[in-house]
Amino acid sequence: MHLEDCESPVERSCCLIELDANDGGNYDIVNDVSSPAAGDCCSRQSSARHNWEMNYQEAAIYLQEGENNDKFFTHPKNAKALAAYLFAHNHLFYLMELTTALLLLLLSLCEAPAVPMLRLGIYVHATLELFALVVVVFELSMKMRWLGFHTYIRHKRTMVKTFVLFVQFIEAIVVLVRQTSHVRVTRALRCIFLVDCRYCGAVRRNLRQIFQSLPPFIDILALLLFFMVIFGILGFYLFSPNHSDPYFNTLENSLVNLFVLLTTSNFPDVMMPSYARNPWSCVFFIVYLSIELYFIMNLLLAVVFDTFNDIEKKKFKSLLLHKRTAIQHAYRLLITKQNPSGISFKHLEGLLRFYKPRMCARDRYLTFKALNQSNTPLVSLKDFYNFYEVVGLKWKAKRNREHWFDELPRTAFLIFKGINILVKSQAFQYAMYTVVAVNGIWILVETFMLQGGNFLPRDVPWSYIVFLTIYGVELLLKTTGLGPIEYLSSGWNFFDFLVTLFAFLGLLTLAFNMEPFYFIVVLRPIQLLRLFKLKKRYRNVLDTIFELFPRMASLGLTLLIFYYCFAIVGMEFFAGVVYPNCCNTSTVADSYRWLNHTVGNKTVVEEGYYYLNNFDNVLNSFVTLFELTVVNDWYIIMEGVTSETSHWSRLYFMTFYIVTMVVMTIIVAFILEAFVFRMNYMRKNQDSEEDNGIVLEKEIFKEEMVALTELYKINCATYEVAQLQKIIAQMDKYEQPSMLFLGRRSRTKSDLSIKMYEEEIQEWYEEHSRKEEYQQRQEALPSSSNNPLKPLGLRQRSQTVI
């Protein structure tokens, strides 16, 4: 972070704005569009302004492309494309995309084999599908309008989407015409509509990363399978003479069982028949497991982890350079002929109006001040490189009073001050930890004493009331001592608040006997989590968890997308295959047995519940797939299905195992990488302050505010003027000559990476600028004059001139 607080003296800042205001009067554009004569304040600039608006908009688009890592060859090339671009790039459109994709995915709940409660007629769900597909066609046509036909065809992901859409369309029509569902494995491809959504960018990145990690993964997998084959042949030769050993009687069985053994799922059963015959046969299994499970599987993790680290760094580098290029493109659109060395506030303000429409006038000015580190009225390119870091800041006026009760009368102040000191004291905190610990032990002992009796008592236990009272008092003290806003601004306090609220709701539930809400009472032990504030390592771990959460969620979503594909395929092939007392011919018949017989004079229900792990509808499939992911006893499910269908079904289960293994390995590598990265970062910055995000302080003087208001008045921006006047009024009220503002945002992985790779980044930049210079020299040659990357606005304007 190169952001430093560079206070400029009041006079200078004021004249800065005035100069800006003057500059606003005579627009001087790079391509020298004629500046209109002076006239009425609100109309004289309209034509020049229109030209500038184009530039602002395009610069904003460049910056967005930089941020989203969109390649510049999809940059809109003309006004029609721009209109389509703008249409396709707003949250309404994104939401439409997302809704359509979700609708298509959720249809599988209602299509046969449907979840019983949600079953819909073929007519209904096929029509719904057709409708959703038509919406997708509309989306794609907008995209084609924006990209142009040639770029559209070159864009692989979009082409795949078009193809899938085509197939889905035909199939939906066929279903509607025939009025009956056929085998529609292609439904698994519906995921692509979700993956292509703007909001699922993270999922796309994950998928790309998974595919990039595949080659080394496959190599090691081959090693793994190779050893499996060798041991399969060995095992077959060694153990097939033993006729009581069902695991190695054929080569196929031998291989399948060694595959399952790789997942440890059939160990030690697979060893037992041969072990019973000859104790030394255990050596075969120990060697196999040592090589395959303990060595090669870990090697797999190591290789993936290594590749992952490498890709992560490369990705960071390319993203950083892409952003830099975007900033350069935007910069070139915003400088004027008169001020070729920087962007004036006027133009930055214009850019921000498009880039962040909801930013208020005050924040726009603060952003300008934060960017401008040279005390000149212009933001140079070097300053502008910080754009992404600065624009994310949330600005807030720095309050002068320390506590919320500073302005109360003396007595009240003293009381609240006392509470404040009490609440902030170590003793109070440790007392509360003790209470929580005692409460935890109490709950444990209480639960232990119940032992299956009537454990949801009709009357509220007194311990519940005592502890709740203590928590309530703590809540009250903290809220009054710190002030509600400061209290809730800490994540831990907010957590305390929620837990206490839940406990209170639980009390009400108990008091009024509202049975359906009993689960709230059951959630009580969660407040024990508060104990984890105590140790630094836990705080670290929890911070890491919060930092990881978005990426974890996107990885989870990626996994769900794989689940969906496999669920669809599973449903098409295995729906209704397993049921109670099926699979009697297989070795796992016991697990599917459902008997209701009488022993003596007691009815005994022998229940092997595995028939519940089926593919009868999407929800069941998901649960079954989760069980397959956990791996334990997955072969029971596999063998059950196999015995009712064909040997080839095993392919499905084995493929699923390998796919989840890939994803899980990536998840492990990701957690490892993130954690180790953070720890290294902390070790590198041990001396620096407690990590609480990025904070920047800027002072604004009243004179600046007034000048700013004048500027907006000239431009007839009444809304902004009103906003600014409110701030001026506030300054007047407290009789302050200036006001301090704090810009704040949480630290992202990118910030950490910038600090970690500080030295390398400079090298990258140099290399990049060398490359760019070379490219520019190439571009200067006449042959490449129709370069599609040439900024749209500039070309347009030069056309206007001609």
Region 139-158 residues binding a copy of itself, contact defined as CB under 8 A: none
Beta bridge partners of 738: 701
Among 359, 360, 460, 671, binds a copy of itself (CB under 8 A): 671
CB-nearer residue toward a copy of itself: 334 or 503:
503
> Which helix (H) or strand (E) covers residue 197, if one does?
none
> Closest separation between CB of residue 609 and a copy of itself, Å?
4
The least distance separating a copy of itself from the CB of residue 469, rounded to whole angstroms, comes to 22
| Only segment of 215-223, 328-336, 420-428, 747-755 that touches a copy of itself (CB under 8 A) | 215-223
Assess 526 for contact with a copy of itself (CB under 8 A): yes
Specify the residue, 134 or 456, whose C-beta has the smaller distance to a copy of itself.
Answer: 456
**Cα(189)–Cα(204) distance, rounded to whole angstroms?**
15
* 795 burial level (CB within 10 Å; 0-12, 13-18, 19+): middle
Q: Write out the DSSP string of 21-49.
A: HHHHHS---TT-PPPPPP--TTTTTHHHH
Among 631, 654, 659, 742, binds a copy of itself (CB under 8 A): 631
CA–CA distance, 644 with 613 (Å, rounded to integer): 14
Q: Give the nearest distance from C-beta 251 to a copy of itself in angstroms.
A: 5
Q: How far is the CB of 625 from a copy of itself (least distance, A)?
A: 11
Give the C-alpha distances (Å, rounded to integers) separating 3 from 117, 369, 430, 738: 58, 11, 39, 21
- Is 456 within 8 Å of 521 (Cβ atoms)? yes
Contact (Cβ atoms closer than 8 angstroms) between residue 398 and residue 740: yes
Token pair in block for residue 212: 């990039």
Between CA 506 and CA 529 the distance in angstroms is: 18
Least distance to a copy of itself, CB of residue 592, Å: 12
The residue range among 75-83, 138-146, 316-324, 666-674 that interacts with a copy of itself, by the rule CB under 8 A, is 666-674
**Minimum CB separation from a copy of itself for residue 763, in Å?**
15
Query: Based on CB atoms, which residue is closest to a copy of itself, 201 or 556?
Result: 556
601: how many CB neighbours lie within 10 A of its CB?
Answer: 5
Is the Cβ of residue 56 or residue 635 nearer to a copy of itself in the bound state? 635
Does 170 interact with a copy of itself (rule: CB under 8 A)?
A: no
Q: Candidates 182-190, 661-669, 742-750, 756-764 — which segment interacts with a copy of itself by CB under 8 A? A: 661-669
Closest Cα to residue 791, out of 29, 221, 9, 76?
76
Binding mask 674-703 vs a copy of itself (x if CB under 8 A, - otherwise)?
-xx--x---x--------------------
- Please report how close the Cβ of residue 297 comes to a copy of itself at its closest, in angstroms: 9
- Span of 70-78, 362-370, 457-465, 670-678 interacting with a copy of itself by CB under 8 A: 670-678
Give yes or no for a contact between 129 and 104, defined as CB atoms under 8 angstroms apart.
yes
Instruction: Select from 247, 331, 592, 610 the one that contacts a copy of itself (CB under 8 A).
Output: 610
Q: How far is the CB of 756 from a copy of itself (least distance, A)?
A: 15
Burial 714-731 (b: 16+ CB within 10 A, else e): ebebeebbebbeebeeeb
Judged by beta carbon, residue 30 or residue 503, the one nearer a copy of itself is 503
- How far is residue 456's CA from residue 524's CA, in Å, rounded to a whole number? 13
708 phi and psi angles, rounded to 5 deg = -60, -45
The β-bridge relationship of strands 694-701 and 738-745 is antiparallel
CB of 220 to a copy of itself, least distance (A): 7
Residue 633 sits in the site that holds a copy of itself (CB under 8 A): yes
Rounded to a whole number of angstroms, the CA Rg of the chain reads 33
Q: 330, 55 in Cβ contact below 8 A?
A: no
Angstrom distance (rounded) from CA 122 to CA 139:
26
Q: Residue 17 is encoded by which pair of tokens?
A: 């704005």
Contact window for a copy of itself (CB under 8 A) among 5-13, 321-329, 496-504, 671-679: 671-679
N- to C-terminal Cα separation, the chain: 44
> 5, 32, 306, 760: which one contacts a copy of itself (CB under 8 A)?
306
Stretch that binds a copy of itself, among 62-70, 82-90, 183-191, 212-220 (CB under 8 A): 212-220
Q: Which residue of 466, 523, 695, 722 would you call a contact of a copy of itself, by CB under 8 A?
A: 523
Among the listed ranges 67-75, 140-148, 451-459, 790-798, the one in contact with a copy of itself (CB under 8 A) is: 451-459
The residue from 9, 180, 426, 448 that contacts a copy of itself (CB under 8 A) is 448
Residues 503-522, interacting with a copy of itself (CB under 8 A): 519, 521-522
Under 8 Å between Cβ of 335 and 343: yes
Tell me the residue length of the chain: 802
DSSP character for 76? Answer: -
Structure tokens at 500: 């206490």
Least distance to a copy of itself from the beta carbon of 450, Å? 8
Q: Considering the rule CB under 8 A, would residue 360 count as an interface residue with a copy of itself? A: no
Which residues, 575 to 604, sit near a copy of itself by CB under 8 A? none
Q: Under rule CB under 8 A, how many of the chain's residues touch a copy of itself?
A: 92
Closest contact distance (angstroms) between CB of 479 and a copy of itself is: 27
By beta-carbon proximity to a copy of itself, the closer residue of 78 and 584 is: 584
Query: Is 213 within 8 Å of 306 (Cβ atoms)?
Result: no
612 versus 742: smaller Cβ distance to a copy of itself: 612
Q: Which of 109, 488, 612, 742 binds a copy of itself (CB under 8 A)?
A: 612
Instruction: List the interface residues with a copy of itself, window 263-302 (CB under 8 A).
Output: 264-269, 272-273, 275-276, 279, 282, 286, 289, 293-295, 298-299, 301-302
Q: Is 774 in the site for a copy of itself (CB under 8 A)?
A: no
Per-position x/- string for 428-447, each x denoting binding to a copy of itself as judged by CB under 8 A, each - no binding: ---------------xx--x
Beta strand segments in 281-429, E: 394-397
Q: Residues near 505 by Cβ (< 8 Å), separated by ≥ 6? A: 517, 520
Closest CA to 517 of 525, 508, 526, 528: 508
Phi, psi of 739 (to 5 degrees): -135, 140
Which of 52, 305, 487, 615 is the binder for a copy of itself (CB under 8 A)? 305
Among 74, 372, 613, 715, binds a copy of itself (CB under 8 A): 613
For residues 337 and 28, the answer to whether their CB atoms sit within 8 Å is yes
Q: Which of 67, 543, 627, 772 binds a copy of itself (CB under 8 A)?
A: 627
Which residues touch 483 (CB under 8 Å, ≥6 apart)?
403, 404, 405
Contact segment (CB under 8 A) with a copy of itself among 5-13, 138-146, 537-545, 728-736 equals 537-545
Strands in 738-745's sheet, in edge-to-edge order, are 394-397, 738-745, 694-701
Shortest distance, CB of residue 579 to a copy of itself, whole angstroms? 14
The pair of three-digit structure tokens given for residue 308, joined into one six-digit string: 């992952």
Please name the residues in contact with 134: beta carbons below 8 A apart, sequence gap of 6 or more: none
**Nearest distance in Å: CB 632, a copy of itself:** 4
694-701 and 602-607 strand pairing: unpaired
Q: Between residue 221 and residue 250, which ones bind a copy of itself under the rule CB under 8 A?
A: 223, 226, 229-230, 233-234, 236-238, 240, 244, 249-250
Q: Is residue 558 a contact residue for a copy of itself (CB under 8 A)?
A: no
Q: Per rule CB under 8 A, is residue 619 in the interface with a copy of itself?
A: yes
Please identify which residue in 411, 451, 785, 786 interacts with a copy of itself, judged by CB under 8 A.
Answer: 451
Site for a copy of itself in 94-133 (CB under 8 A): none
In terms of DSSP bridges, do strands 738-745 and 394-397 run parallel, antiparallel, or are they unpaired? antiparallel
Joined together, the tokens standing for residue 66 give: 């930089």
What is the rounded distance in angstroms from the CA atom of residue 461 to the CA atom of residue 560? Answer: 43
- Toward a copy of itself, which CB reaches closer, 229 or 501? 229
Beta carbon nearer to a copy of itself, 291 or 397: 291
